[in-house]
Amino acid sequence: MRTTPMESERVAADVRRAVEDAIWAPSVHNTQPWRFGVRGARITLRADPDRRLGVADPMGREMLISCGAALYTLRLSLRMLGYDPVVHLLPDPDRPHLLADVDLRPGEPADAAVELEHAQIRRRHSHRGGFLPDPVPAGVQSLLRHAAEREGARLVQAVDANVKGALAALTDAAEHIQRRSPAYATEIARWAPAPGTSRRDGVQEGAYPQRTPQTAPYFPARDFARGQGWGTEPDPDDGTARSGLVVLLVSGGDTPAHWLKSGQALQRVLLRAAEHGLSAAYHTQALQIPDLRAFIRTQFCADADADPQLLLRLGAVEGEGRSSVRRPVEEVLTGEPG
What is the secondary structure of 262-323 as a DSSP string? HHHHHHHHHHHHHHTT-EEEE--TGGGSHHHHHHHHHHHSTTTT-EEEEEEEEE--STT---
The two beta strands, 42-47 and 98-106, are: antiparallel
The reply to whether omega before 26 is within 30° of 0 (cis) is no
**Rounded distance, CA 265 to CA 262, Å?**
5
What is the identity of the amino acid at 65? I
pLDDT at 137 over 90: yes
How do residues 110-120 score in pLDDT, each as one tens digit? 999 999 999 99
Does position 143 have pLDDT exceeding 60, yes or no? yes
- The pLDDT score that the predictor gives to residue 47 is 98
**Fold designation for 5-123:** NADH Oxidase (3.40.109)
Q: Which residues contact 184 (CB under 8 A, 6 or more apart)?
A: 55, 56, 178
What is the arrangement of strands in the sheet containing 307-315, beginning at the earlier edge strand?
Answer: 153-157, 245-251, 307-315, 279-282
Where does the pLDDT of residue 300 fall: very low under 50, low under 70, confident under 90, or very high at 90 and above? very high
Confidence of residue 73 (pLDDT cuts 50, 70, 90): very high
Query: Residue 336 has what pLDDT?
Result: 76
Give the model's confidence band at 66: pLDDT under 50 very low, under 70 low, under 90 confident, else very high: very high
pLDDT at residue 32, as a whole number: 98
Share of residues in the chain with pLDDT > 70 (%):
95
The average confidence (pLDDT) of the chain is 93
pLDDT of 127 strictly over 80: yes
Question: Residue 1's pLDDT band (boundaries 50, 70, 90)?
Answer: low
- Exposed, middle or buried, 337 (CB in 10 Å: 0-12/13-18/19+)? exposed
Element (H, E) at 85: strand 83-89
Query: What pLDDT sits at residue 119?
Result: 98
pLDDT at 50 over 60: yes
Domain with CATH 3.40.109.10 in the chain: 5-123, 138-315
At 235, which amino acid appears? D
The domain made up of 138-315 has a fold known as: NADH Oxidase (3.40.109)
- pTM, 2 dp: 0.95
pLDDT at 101 over 90: yes
Confidence (pLDDT) at 5:
62
- Alpha carbon 236 to its chain centroid, in Å, reads 26
Q: What is the pLDDT of residue 69?
A: 98
